[in-house]
Amino acid sequence: MIQTPYPVEILTAAQMARADSLTIAEGVSGMSLMEKAADAVARAANQFLQKSSGRRVLVLCGPGNNGGDGYVAARLLRSPRIKVRVASLTPRDELHGDALAAASAWDGPVEPTETASFQGVDLVIDALFGAGLSRDIQGPAAELIQRLNKWRRESGQNVIAVDTPSGVDGSTGAVRGVAVEADATVTFFRLKSGHLLLPGRVHCGQIVCAHIGIRSRVLKDIAPNTFVNAPGYWLDSLPLPRIEGHKYVRGHAAVMSGGPSHTGAARLAAQAALRAGAGLVTLASPSAAMAINAGALTSVMIREADGAAGLTALLADPRLNAVALGPGLGVGPATRAQVEAALAPATNKRSCVLDADALTSFQHDPQSLWGLIGAAPGPVVLTPHAGEFARLFGAKEEPPAEAPVSKLERARAAARESGAIVLYKGPDTVVAAPDGRATILIEASPWLATAGSGDTLTGIIAGLLAQGMEPLTAASCGAWMHARAAAIFGPGLIADDIAATLPQVWRELTPAPT
């Protein structure tokens, strides 16, 4: 069974500060948290040093408690075998609180960072800035980070970041001016959104989440609403077929096909819906494309459905409980009419996934789509990529550096505005619900950037919705399965391979028969 290496909740910097203060209020000292945090950093450093047979460590300390972690890690790491140097951005007499206490407990020399040399260093610990980063990095700190990144690239040696790579905003993943490129990042208690959102994620390298004595029960007070999109979040609600079940219990999904020269996208989606576990999948095909579609299908059923009227007639069957449309449909009024048919009020609950052309067809009038979603007979999932997202929700200009708005918050706002589950695609796919809950995908594969990959994702989600999975979980699980299949298949992947690899993903997720 696949294990998620991280706890499921994701915190903002403010929520993490609250977790700290609730813990301190329970009687745990800030210094004890710092000692444990530094111990986790020292352990990670030791692992790197063992692998590289390195012995010389340089710890770069900043002005706050992140720097404090650095001083403690330096003290814990130093041994007859391991030589540790400390360089600080700030003179010791300008430090306060736990950081000052940590610096005072370090009895070795402290160099100014301006003149600190990387010559002969095997490993650098970046303890410059963590959760307290509050503005763009400039001046001597920026020059130091540039020098560090250059040294890392040229020497091939490793960098471990404490809490976040300095310069990465822990909540948004944005680079504030310049940011450390790390091989590993050791964070504490829970991941922060900036660890998973781009570009922060790329700066983090491998992420370690260490226990430092903060109890999980503080989360009751904090009530986080962002989660790691990995099996830990949705495994319990994964629909599994039952021995006494039959195909109708597993739901019936419909996918609308485009015209004769645009049929492939819908077939990819339909195939993926079946592989995602829907009991039955029907491809709704315009009459002019029937021969082409029928000749290319086996387990997917086919029904003639011309335009919106044809779709309405098909959906009169109450057993069709999930419908997907968009891939290959074309942008324009005909597609808008089909979306209206799919979202038309009905007595049976029917989920709907809208992708690609079904979204772009509403680019000049998104309000009318929000109206349809509000009246729809069941949950609606929108799956825009960055371009479609900008067309539907406004191309929000890159935010000013003072207040970066993350992909996570943009997806959340979009879900609130549209009333739908919004799956904002990318290597850091975010899925957000109108009630504020959101997930960030942890599984990623560069091989997913291939034609038809999005059509497959649409189908997987439709297949999971057909089986009755709650929509935020269905969209999240769909995105994860899609990325996991691509990661398993790897080099040479084309969209057809994603559905073909889903059985392997299912095997990883389901308990072995006993």
Is residue 254 annotated as involved in ligand binding? no
18 burial class (0-12, 13-18, 19+ CB within 10 angstroms)?
Answer: middle
- CA 485 to CA 456: how far, in whole Å? 11
In terms of Cα–Cα distance, which of 399, 427, 429 is closest to 411? 429
Which C-beta is closer to ligand NAX: that of 90 or that of 453? 90
68 is annotated as contributing to ligand binding: yes
Q: How far is the CB of 29 from ligand NAX (least distance, A)?
A: 9
Beta carbon of residue 224, minimum distance to ligand NAX (angstroms, whole number): 17
136 is in an annotated binding site: yes
Q: Give one word for 276, left, alpha or beta, with left for phi > 0 and alpha for psi -120 to 50.
A: alpha
Quick one: 62 or 277, whose CB is closer to K ion? Answer: 62
Report, in Å, the least distance between residue 406 CB and ligand NAX: 18
The yes or no reply on residue 162 touching ligand NAX (CB under 6 A) is: yes
Q: Give the whole-angstrom CA distance, residue 429 versus residue 227.
A: 12
Distance CA 281, CA 272 (A): 10
Q: Does 134 participate in binding ligand NAX (rule CB under 6 A)?
A: yes
Q: Is the previous residue joined to 199 through a cis bond, with omega within 30 degrees of 0?
A: yes
Q: Is the Cβ–Cβ distance between 41 and 162 less than 8 Å? A: yes
137, 160, 305, 323: which one contacts ligand NAX (CB under 6 A)?
A: 137
Decide if residue 213 touches ligand NAX (CB under 6 A): no
355 is in an annotated binding site: no
Site membership for ligand NAX, residue 39 (CB under 6 A): no
Could you say which of 63, 173, 384, 434 contacts ligand NAX (CB under 6 A)?
63
Q: Report residue 41 as tokens.
A: 């950093």
Region 352-381 residues binding ligand NAX, contact defined as CB under 6 A: none
- Comparing CB distances to ligand NAX, the nearer of 11 and 479 is 11
Q: Is residue 65 a contact residue for K ion (CB under 5 A)?
A: no
Is residue 146 near ligand NAX by the rule CB under 6 A? no
- The entry of K ion, ligand NAX, none near residue 58 (CB within 5 to 8 angstroms by kind) is none
Amino acid at site 6: Y
Using CB under 6 A as the binding rule, whether residue 66 contacts ligand NAX is answered as: yes
Which is nearest to 40 in space by CA: 159, 185, 169, 158? 185
State the Cα–Cα distance between residues 58 and 60, nearest whole angstrom: 6
Residue 313 marked ligand-binding: no
Q: Is position 67 annotated in a ligand binding site? A: yes
The answer to whether 10 and 222 are in contact (CB under 8 A) is: no
> Least distance to ligand NAX from the beta carbon of 88, Å?
12
The reply, when asked if residue 425 is annotated as ligand binding, is: yes
CA atoms within 13 A on the CB side of 41: 36
Beta carbon nearer to ligand NAX, 125 or 475: 125
- Cβ burial of 258 (10 Å; 0-12, 13-18, 19+) is buried
CA distances from 487 to 96, 282, 290, 482, 505 (A): 46, 28, 34, 9, 10
- Contact flag: residue 163 with ligand NAX (CB under 6 A): yes
Taking CB under 6 A as the criterion, the residue among 106, 129, 227, 234 binding ligand NAX is: 129
- For residue 265, say whether it is annotated as part of any ligand binding site: yes
Q: Does 37 bind K ion (CB under 5 A)?
A: no
Q: Which does 141 bind (CB under 5 to 8 A by kind): ligand NAX, K ion, none?
A: ligand NAX
Q: Does 219 bind ligand NAX (CB under 6 A)?
A: no
Side chain identity at 248, as an amino acid letter? Y
Beta strands in 203-346, from DSSP E residues, in sequence order? 206-210, 226-229, 252-256, 280-285, 301-304, 320-325
Q: Is 448 helix (H, G, I), strand (E, B) or coil?
A: helix
Q: Least distance to ligand NAX from the beta carbon of 21, Å?
A: 8
**Alpha carbons 191 and 213: distance in angstroms, whole number:** 15
- Using the rule CB under 6 A, which residue among 6, 188, 480, 489 binds ligand NAX? 188
Backbone φ, ψ for residue 38 (5° rounding): -65, -35
191 three-class SS: strand
**What is the footprint of K ion within residues 156-215 (CB under 5 A)?**
161-162, 166
CA distance 458 to 464: 10
Instruction: Name the binder of 161 from ligand NAX, K ion, none, CB < 5-8 A by kind.
Output: K ion
Per CB under 6 A, residues contacting ligand NAX are 20, 30, 33-34, 37, 62-69, 129-137, 141, 162-163, 188, 212
Per CB under 5 A, residues contacting K ion are 126, 130, 161-162, 166
Binding residues: 65-69, 126, 130-136, 163, 166, 265, 328, 385, 425-429, 454-455
Binding residues for AMP: 425-429, 454
Binding residues for K(+): 66, 126, 166
